[in-house]
Amino acid sequence: MTEKLPLRSEVPTELTWDLTRLFTSDEAMQRALQATQKRAQALAAMKGQLTSAAKLLQVLQAVKTIDEELEQEYVYAFLRRDSDTTDATATALFGQAAQAATQIETALAFIDPEIIALSDEQVAAWQAAEPGLAEFAFQLAALRKQKDHVLAGEQERLLSRLNRALDGASEVYNTLNDADLDFGQIRDETGQLVQLTHGNRSQFTESTDRTVRKAAALAYQKPYHALRHTFAATFNNFVDSQNALAELRHYPSARAAALGRNQIDEAVYDTLVQTVNAHLALAHRWYALKKRILGLDPFYQYDIPTPLAGGDQLKTTYQEGQAMVLQAMSVLGDEYVAGLKQEFSQRWVDVAENKGKRSGGYQISAYRANPFILLNWTDKLYSTFVLAHESGHAMHSWFSQHHQPSEYANAPIFLAEVASTFNEHLLTDWLLKKYHDDPQVELYVLEQSIDGFIGTIYRQTQFAEFEHQAYQQQQAGETLTADALDALNEQLLKKYYGPAVELAGTLTQSWAYVPHFYMNYYVYQYATSWAISTSLAAQVLAGQPGAKERYLAFLAAGGSDTPAKVLAAAGIDITNGQYLTEALQVFAHRLDQIEALLAQMAAKD
C-alpha cells in the first residue's frame, strides 16, 4: 500500500487559509489590480512635478495607497500559487500580479531619483512647512542615505523594467524545487512503501531505524544530484544578477548592497562568522556526544537527526500544537494571546501538505488584511515549533500593523527573525517546565533546543559562509559550476561537523535545497536573530522589570527606525559580538544539562 498526498481539493477547508479575507474571487482580485494599475498611471503623469511640499506629500500618499493595494493583490496571487504550484490558473494569476508589479515599479521609478535630487535645505524647508510630511520623515531620511546608489530617472526606469528577468532564476528554482522534483518511494519502519516529500522527509530522516533514515536521506539527495548542473546554473545566474545590480548601483559588493539597504554594517556579518568559528568546539562536542550515546561508529550525516530519547516523545496534532503555543506565549500577556487566537480561529494558517503545495513554512502579511502562514504539518513536535516560529512572524506583523502606518509595518528581515525565534525559546522553556519530572520527554525537548542552536546559529552561519564565498568567487569572474559548489560545500561541512561525523551521499543536496540562497544574503540573519532572541527571551522569562513591555514595543515598532536603534530600545547592542557570546553560553548550558540528564538516566538503568 502506498501513501499518496491529497489533492488540494481534498484538503478540509478548516485546514486551509481563508483568502476571501483578501479577495472573494480571482476576478475580484484582477479588477482591483487593474484599478491599481490605473492609479499608478495617473501618478506617473506627475513626473517632473515635484516642486513643492504639497506635491511631495501628494506623491508619498499616493505611493502609500498604491503599495497597500498592490500588496493585497500580490499576496492573494502569491498564496493562490503556493497552495498548488501545479494549478495553471493560479500560476497564471501570479504571473499577472508579478507583471503588474514590475510595470508599476517601472512607471514610478522616477520618484526616488527626484526626491534624492532635492537639496537637504529644500527638504528641511518643506518638512517645516507641511506637517503631513512628518509621517514620512524616516522613510525620506533612509532613502536619501542611499543617494550614491540610486541611478538617474531613466536608468531606474529601465532597471525596474528588467526586475522580472533578473528574478527569473529564483522563479525557475522555486518551480523546479516545489513542482518538479520527485524523491521516489522508500519503505518505512513497517516495510510499507511511502512517497517521500519535502513535507514528510523529517519523519523518516529522524527514524530510529538506521535503514529507514539512510534510505530517506539518500533518496532525498538523489534528484538534486541528478539535476546538479541545472541547480548550479540557476544559482550562478542568480548570483550573477545580484553582483551586476550591486555594481550598477555603485556598491563594492552584493553583500554591501544587501546589508546597506537596511543600514546594517557589514561588520555584523563578519563578527557572526568569526564568533561562531571561535565556538565550533561546542558543535563538535554535541556530535561526539551523539555518536557515543548512540553507539555508532562510523557516525554519518544521516545519523545526526536520530533522537537520543529513542523516537518521538511528543506527538502533536495541529489542535494540540495550537494549545501549546497559546500556553507558552501567555507570558507575553493578553494582547499577544488575543492576536494568536485570531490567527487560529480566522484561518490565517494553511496547515496540511497537498500535492503541488510549496514546501517548508513561511509568513506573509497584507496591511489591509492580516498575516498568512504556510505550514506542511506532520504530527511531530517539530511542526509545533514551526507553528510557534511562524506565529512569531505573524504577531510581529499584527502588532506593527496596529501601531504603524503601512510604510513602516514591514520590519526588515534582520528584525523579523528575532520575533519568530523568540517564540521558539518560550516554547522550549514551557515544555521543559511542564515535563520536568519526565526524563524521556525532558531529554527530547532539550535535544530540540540544542538542535535549534545547531540548525540556526551553526547551520545558518555555515550557509552564510558558503553564500558569501560563492558571491566572491562569481564576482571575481569564476563560474559557479556544480563541481565548484560541491568543493566549497565539502570544506565547510567538514569544518562545521568536525571529526566525529562522516559525510555521506552527494555534496550537492546540502546547497541545492536551500531556497533562501535566492533571497540574497538572507541566511546570516537567522543566526544573528536567534542569538538576539535568546537574550530577549531570557530577560522576559526571568521577569526582568520592563522586559515584556520592551519586547512588545519592539514588535510594535515594525520598520519605523533602523534595526540597530529598534534593538537598542529593546536592550540589545548589535555593534559588538557580546550578544553572540551570550547566546553561545546558553548553548553550552544546554549541553551541560543534557549531559547531566543522560548521566542520571544511565545511573538509574
**80 domain residue, yes or no:** yes
The three-state DSSP-derived secondary structure of 434-454 is HCCCCHHHHHHHHHHHHHHHH
- What pLDDT score was predicted for residue 1? 39
More confident residue, 576 or 212: 212
Of 101-110, 167-176, 207-216, 401-410, least confident by mean pLDDT is 167-176
* CA–CA separation, 429 and 421 (whole Å): 13
Q: Mean pLDDT in the chain?
A: 94
Categorize the per-residue pLDDT at 2 as very low, low, confident or very high, splitting at 50, 70 and 90.
very low
CATH at 94? 1.20.140.70
- Does residue 28 register a pLDDT over 80? yes
**159 domain residue, yes or no:** yes
3-state secondary structure of 177: helix
Percent of the chain topping pLDDT 70 = 99
**409 domain residue, yes or no:** no
- Of residues 578, 582, 580, 556, the one with CA closest to residue 569: 556
Continuous segment of H or E residues that includes residue 528: helix 524-541
**295 domain residue, yes or no:** no
**267 domain residue, yes or no:** no
Active site residue 390: yes
Find out whether 500 and 284 touch, Cβ atoms under 8 Å.
Answer: yes
- Tell me if the bond preceding 515 is cis, omega within 30° of 0: no
Count CB atoms within 10 A of the CB of residue 281: 11
- Does residue 517 register a pLDDT over 70? yes
Categorize the per-residue pLDDT at 199 as very low, low, confident or very high, splitting at 50, 70 and 90.
confident
pLDDT per position as a tens digit, 154-181 = 777 777 777 777 778 888 898 888 888 9
Of 97-101, 273-277, 571-575, least confident by mean pLDDT is 571-575
- What pLDDT score was predicted for residue 393? 97
**30 domain residue, yes or no:** yes
* CA–CA separation, 346 and 325 (whole Å): 16
* CA–CA separation, 287 and 290 (whole Å): 5
pLDDT per position as a tens digit, 530-550 = 999 999 999 999 999 999 999
Whole domain around residue 26: which residue ranges?
12-166
**Which of 69, 73, 343, 390 is the catalytic position?**
390
Residue whose cell numbers read 498526498 = 5
Categorize the per-residue pLDDT at 152 as very low, low, confident or very high, splitting at 50, 70 and 90.
confident
**6 domain residue, yes or no:** no
Continuous segment of H or E residues that includes residue 194: strand 193-195
**279 domain residue, yes or no:** no
- Does residue 138 register a pLDDT over 70? yes
Count CB atoms within 10 A of the CB of residue 143: 15
Total count of domains within the chain: 1
What lies within 8 Å, CB to CB, of 25 at 6+ separation is none
pLDDT per position as a tens digit, 45-79 = 999 999 999 999 999 999 999 999 999 999 999 99
C-alpha separations of 538 from 97, 247, 450, 551 in Å:
43, 42, 16, 12
Question: What cell was used for 490?
Answer: 565539502
- Of residues 117, 137, 105, 135, the one with CA closest to residue 51: 117
Rounded to an integer, the average pLDDT of 199-205 is 86
What secondary structure does DSSP assign to 399-438, as a single string?
A: HHHHHS-GGGSS--HHHHHHHHHHHHHHHHHHHHHHTTT-
Categorize the per-residue pLDDT at 3 as very low, low, confident or very high, splitting at 50, 70 and 90.
low
pTM, two decimals, is 0.84
* CA–CA separation, 105 and 155 (whole Å): 13
Question: What cell was used for 229?
Answer: 548542473
Rounded to an integer, the average pLDDT of 83-112 is 95
pLDDT per position as a tens digit, 294-322 = 999 999 999 999 989 886 778 899 999 99
pLDDT per position as a tens digit, 435-480 = 999 999 999 999 989 999 999 999 999 999 999 999 999 999 999 9
The three-state DSSP-derived secondary structure of 54-115 is HHHHHHHHHHHHHHHHHHHHHHHHHHHHHHCCCCHHHHHHHHHHHHHHHHHHHHCCCHHHHH
- What pLDDT score was predicted for residue 383? 93
CA 78 to chain CA centroid, nearest Å: 16
Continuous segment of H or E residues that includes residue 488: helix 482-497
Of 143-152, 166-175, 255-264, least confident by mean pLDDT is 143-152
